[in-house]
Structures are given as C-alpha cells and as structure tokens.
Amino acid sequence: MIDRPGLRDTDARVGPFVGDSEMAARMRATDWSTTGFGPVDTWPQSLKTMLGVVLGSRFPMLLWWGPDLLHLYNDACRPILRDKHPASLAAPAAQVWAEVWDVAGPMARGVLEGAPATGSEELPLLVRSGEMVAETCFTFSYSPVPGDDGRVGGVLNIVQETTPKAQGERQIRMLHDLAALDQRLAEPVDGAQRRAWVVELERANRELDAFSYAVSHDLRAPLRAIDGFSQALVEDCGEQLDALGHQYLDRIRGGVGRMAGLIDALLGLARVGRVELRRERVDLSRMARDVVAELRRAQPERQVEAEIADGLVAEGDGSLLRMVLANLLGNAWKFTACRGDARVTVGCDGDGEPAFFVRDNGAGFDQAYVDRLFTPFQRLHGQAEFEGVGAGLATVQRVIHRHGGRVWAEGAVGEGATFHFTLPAGGR
C-alpha cells in the first residue's frame, strides 16, 4: 500500500471525523478554516452528527451542506467520483458535478429549499472522468438534513451506480427482439404484415446501435483503471522512476488516450442512428462560417483562405448537419496543414439535384481507394502524418443517408479533395 503522508492523523482534531477510513483521515488532516465550511468548532451539531453517519456507512453517501451544497463523502463514494477525488472534498456540488448539474442541480436545490425528498432509478447521465465522458446510470435519493435551527441545512445523497445492470438489461432485450424478428421474417406473410415487421426491424437496428453504445461504454472501465493507476504511479512513485520508466508510462497513457478517442468515435456513430431526426430550414452558409471560426480559434497560427458561398440553404436536422460540416471542414483544415497557401471552399453545384461540396487543396487521396473513405476506422493516411481515428467520414455518410441523400468524394494525391453531398426532402 502506498503511504500518503498526512492521512494518519489521530490527534485531538478528530472531532466528527471518527473512524479509520481514508476519508475520515483525510478530513482530520484538512485545514477547514480555508474552506467554505470554516473551522470545525463553528460547525452546527447537525452537520457533525450527519457526517458521522456518512463516514460510518459502507454504502455510498454524499452530504451536500449549506447554500453552496459543499461536498462531503465517504470511502464508498470514491469509485463513483473517480478522478474527482480528492479535489471534490469541500467543493460546491455544482462544480464537482458540472456536466450533470442541469439534471441533478434542480432536484438537490429543491430539497434544500423545502421540497420533499426525491430521487431517481437508473437515471442515465453523461459523467466526465478525465478527458472521457461516458453514459453512466445511477439510482439515488435526495433527503433533507435539518440544521440546528430547524430549517434544512443540507442534502443527503445516497447513491448507487447501476450502469452494468442497465446495460445488461438493454443487451438482453435487444438480442431477444432481434431473434424473434428474424424468425418472423422467415414466415410467409401478406404485404401489410411485412411492412409492420420492417418497421420493427428498423427499431431493432436502433437497438443494435444502442448495443454498440453500451459495449463502447463497457470498454471505458478498464481504460479508466489503466489511466488512473498510471497517474497514481506518476504522483506517488514518480521520484523512484528513471527516465525510461517515465517514458513507458507516457506511452501507456498515450495509448489510453488513443483508445478513448476510438471509443468516442464509436459512440458518436451509434448516437447518429439513435437521435430523432428534426427537420428545419438550415442556413449551411452561416453554419460553415461558424465552424471555420471555431477552427481559427483553435489554431490561430494557421493561415487558411476560406471561401463560403452565400445562400446555401437546406432542409434537415440542424445539429446533425452541423456534425457533417464540422467533420468535412475539420478534415479540410487538417489535410491542408502542410500547405502555405491552404484553401477551403464550400459551395453548391449541379444542374439537376443540387449537391453541396467542401473542397480543399490539401494532401488529397488516391482515387483507387475511395471506397475505403467512408468505412469506419479505415484511414488512407498514417497516424504520424495526420492524427485521427477514421470515424469522421463514416459519421458524415450515416447522417446524409438518414436524410435520404448521397455522399461521394473525388481527389488526387497532393492535389486536394472534394466531398459532395445531397439533401433531398425525404429522409428518416
């Protein structure tokens, strides 16, 4: 076990921090006068009493106290907090759980302001851990904790992560539905019944996307462990490692980052098939300019000439079409990095069905391999040349196909590339 100095304090400052748990020891070693709680001898007795209950429980508990819902928790909560521990101790809950506070915040704030206890079962939330964001399911309850003055002083959050259970139920349901549907489609039926089954098959395909989403989520757990323990080695044993040891750890963490990128890409592909298509009039010219502005802010040192035609308008889902332009323009920006006269053009052509296009004068590609462009995780350029995982164009194709359109590409090595896409009025 790695010895962490300062966490074995057992002197008279024990106060409400009773027990031999890590959190009790960490709290005994904390200078509370520098936090929003203030010195321990000024704490209300109700806070001290409830904190003793929390620290003594083997079930995950969070205690949020005061108007800012300052964050206290026990050892059982540490796996749920992941890398939010230990910085989350005494921090405002809205800061600790910023990525989900739009959902959790109103519930907790309501209880603090006098509403009845509340909670949720297997609520899916997108929780951040390091650079990764993953759908995580929680069952939890929020209960009011009375202060010494009789008013609500804080909120007790008893929580359990239920992600494996929710994923297992989702996977079993999906596999059962696919098996039943496959058997039905093999039977002779009339046209109306077959159309109904086709609708059901589409639903099952959406469940298959959900399955890939769940599998991708499952891959994150070992990645988090590898990344977390690697970071712990750096922090706790860094002085004992030589240069080669640090190099190995850097390579491990770099591999974890690349794998996380692949999982994010897989989740993105699954998400495209799951969201409901919401049609509206979309100003593609304005959207393209916004994307280019973001690229310029991200790389202010780049000098890229961007020509975007006016009046590019289409009917489609605005958020998904922005994803299309972000991927196409992001690729154009990336593959022109080696050119001093980098140029990107967005426009529309075609005498019959109008086709929008994004063109660049970058690295281009061999037209003989054009069919590989839209295959997930297939790349025509090495990682050493251009970073990426090979999911952007597959995402573009999936979005355009959902709109009932087509997408194709033309290019030549060293002469740039042009990506065309159509957006008819149909779509699913």
Q: C-alpha 175: how far from its chain's center? A: 25
Q: Do 401 and 335 contact (CB within 8 A), yes or no?
A: no
DSSP string, 147-165: -TTSSEEEEEEEEEE-HHH
- How far apart CA 210 and CA 89 sit, in angstroms, is 35
* Cross-strand pairs, 186: none
Q: Which two tokens stand for residue 218?
A: 């499952």
- How far apart CA 206 and CA 212 sit, in angstroms, is 10
The stretch 106-114 carries a mean pLDDT of 93
Q: Which two tokens stand for residue 9?
A: 């304090």
Q: Do 270 and 302 contact (CB within 8 A), yes or no?
A: no
pLDDT band at 184 (very low <50, low <70, confident <90, very high): low
Is 212 a residue whose pLDDT tops 60?
yes
Question: pLDDT at position 344, please?
Answer: 93
Cα three-residue angle 26-29-31, rounded to 5 degrees: 115
Is 354 a residue whose pLDDT tops 50?
yes
Q: Render pLDDT for 37-53 as a digit per residue (tens, 0 to 9).
A: 999 999 999 999 999 99
> Which pTM was predicted?
0.44
Is 187 a residue whose pLDDT tops 70?
no
- How far apart CA 216 and CA 209 sit, in angstroms, is 11
Place of tokens 């039943």: 180
- How far apart CA 89 and CA 21 sit, in angstroms, is 15
The stretch 363-370 carries a mean pLDDT of 79
Q: Do 112 and 120 contact (CB within 8 A), yes or no?
A: no
Q: Render pLDDT for 53-85 as a digit per residue (tens, 0 to 9).
A: 999 999 999 999 999 999 999 999 998 898 899
Q: Output the average pLDDT for the chain.
A: 81
Q: Residue type for 334, please?
A: K
Instruction: Verify cis geometry, omega within 30 degrees of 0, for the bond prior to 86.
Output: yes
Separate counts of helices (H) and strands (E) for the chain: 11, 12
- How far apart CA 312 and CA 366 sit, in angstroms, is 29
* Cross-strand pairs, 356: 348, 421
- How far apart CA 401 and CA 398 sit, in angstroms, is 5
Residue 42 DSSP label = G
- How far apart CA 214 and CA 225 sit, in angstroms, is 18
Q: Residue type for 180, please?
A: A
Positive or negative torsion for Cα 174, 175, 178, 183: negative
Q: Which two tokens stand for residue 332?
A: 């154009």
Q: Do 357 and 423 contact (CB within 8 A), yes or no?
A: no
pLDDT band at 338 (very low <50, low <70, confident <90, very high): confident
